[in-house]
Chain A
Amino acid sequence: MTAWLSPADWSALALSLRVACFSVVVSLPFALALAWLLSRKRFAGRTLVEALLFLPLILPPVVTGYALLAILGRNAPLGHALAEIGIVFAFRWTGAVVAAAVMGFPLLVLSIRVAFDNVDRRLEAAAETLGARAWRRFRTIVLPLSLRGIVAGCVLAFARSFGEFGATISFVSNIPGETRTLPIAIYELLSVPGGMDGVRHLSIVALLVALAAAASATVIAGGVARRDGDD
């Protein structure tokens, strides 16, 4: 009897989880900073920043992948400069992280921005009268009161990254054990005779991961709501 998941399938699942986790962790600080800027500051070029932010949601993912290749590929100026100091993204799992992070970034920023917008500014003013400067107000008031939105954004970005296909395959291709993520493995199995069992099994795994992510988000959000006395 063949195993329910082959070693290659396990490898694709582990890689997808790693890529999704890393992409959220890496992009979260940038998303927090940008969401705060968009929520609290008026600055020149704000509309352009917002338009650029939405681009990965609007562009075909394959185009985003191609753009990443054009910017970070070994032959691109930036990619070449980074390669000189030992940082290579193209055709590496780290490149899959970049692709996933770029695709999930707008969802992360939008969720966090809405959460920041909903924090009562009067509480920040109260903290300020108590001697709290900007960073402390952000850390102790804005951040904890936005936790539900931040968690929701992380789950959305994780889910988007976990399912990322187009930008990843364009930027880092399909290299078993290196860039062959779960969606790419499913796509490959679809074109292999007798691969439908594997497709079914990996699809069920993808469904379970999505359910687990959604459930954990609900549990965390519930805990935060109880803490804040919202229920």
Chain B
Amino acid sequence: MIDLSIRRRIGDLDLDVAFRADVRTLALFGDSGAGKTSVLNAIAGLVKPREGRIALDERVLFDSAAGIDVPVAERRIGYVFQDGRLFPHLDVRANLVYGARSGAHIGFEGVVALLELAPLLERQPSTLSGGERQRVAIGRALLAEPHALLLDEPMTGLHAEARRQVLDHLRRLRNELGVFTVLVSHHASEVAALADEVVLLDGGRVAGQRTRAEFEAIAAAAVPYAQP
């Protein structure tokens, strides 16, 4: 469960977002500049809200009133960035184990099997395709045994086949691991495929919160938030 209420000005964006959700996969959906990534950064601790509160289950990560601000390294948030951000000087295996914890949900072999990474283990990140890079980034985040997984536009920039592959892996992840996940996307099809609930963001504000069925209906009617 996530309980979030944050306020902060970031560049031209006046972020004022509050929502609460008790689902396995939550999506933040909206146009570019809506504040989706800023919300993820706040959950991970990479951006500090001016005021507000962020709690995952009963664990308070940030509370300006109580003076709580858990350091990024202690938040146990697995963050899959839009560009993967693999460490270029480490091979895939070393990237995967960088933040690994011994008690990870499914362990190294499990992650390698789930994401089909075995053929990639000895390769350098610079030799990977976009889809392979994202799968490694997802595996790396999972091995850190996160309390929550943040996926920031994980399929942006991928060609159709790579998108399909990553989407399939994310579906398996959702079904087999059950890690609470926040997905950021501006593609309705990705959101509909993965999310249990959707928070609609517009100009740094929450424009609505929908179940997957409601969101699919909106998307099908091709009204504001439906994009191919």
- By a beta-carbon cutoff of 8 Å, the part of chain A in contact with chain B is 122-123, 125-133, 140-141, 144-145, 227-230
Q: Is the CB of B89 within 8 A of A131?
A: no
Nearest CB of A to B224, in Å: 31
Nearest CB of B to A181, in Å: 37
Q: Is the CB of A126 within 8 A of B81?
A: yes
Q: Is the CB of B76 within 8 A of A229?
A: no
> A200 to B101, alpha carbons, bound, how many Å?
62
B141 touches A (CB below 8 Å):
yes
Residue of B nearest to A137 (CB): B73
B141-188 residues with Cβ-Cβ distance < 8 A to A are 141, 144
Q: How large is the interface on B (under 10, 10 to 19, 20 to 34, 35 or more residues)?
A: 20 to 34
Interface of B is mostly: loop
Interface string of B42-63 (1 = CB under 8 A from A): 0011100000000000000000
Q: Is the CB of A229 within 8 A of B98?
A: no
B88 touches A (CB below 8 Å):
yes
Which of A129, A132, A228 interacts with B89 by CB under 8 Å? A228
Q: Is the CB of A129 within 8 A of B124?
A: no
> A122 to B98, alpha carbons, bound, how many Å?
16
Q: Is the CB of A130 within 8 A of B46?
A: no
Interfacial chain A residues near B76, Cβ < 8 Å: 131
- By a beta-carbon cutoff of 8 Å, the part of chain B in contact with chain A is 44-46, 72-79, 81, 83, 85, 87-89, 98-99, 101, 124-127, 140-141, 144
**Given A129-B77, A130-B144 in contact, is the A227-B89 Cβ separation under 8 Å?**
yes
Nearest CB of A to B50, in Å: 20
Nearest CB of B to A91, in Å: 45
Q: Is the CB of A129 within 8 A of B87?
A: no
> A131 to B125, alpha carbons, bound, how many Å?
21
Residue of A nearest to B127 (CB): A229
Q: Is the CB of B88 within 8 A of A129?
A: no
> A131 to B98, alpha carbons, bound, how many Å?
9
Looking at B45, B46, B73, B140, which has the most chain A CB atoms within 10 Å of its CB? Answer: B73
Which of A123, A132, A141 interacts with B73 by CB under 8 Å? A132
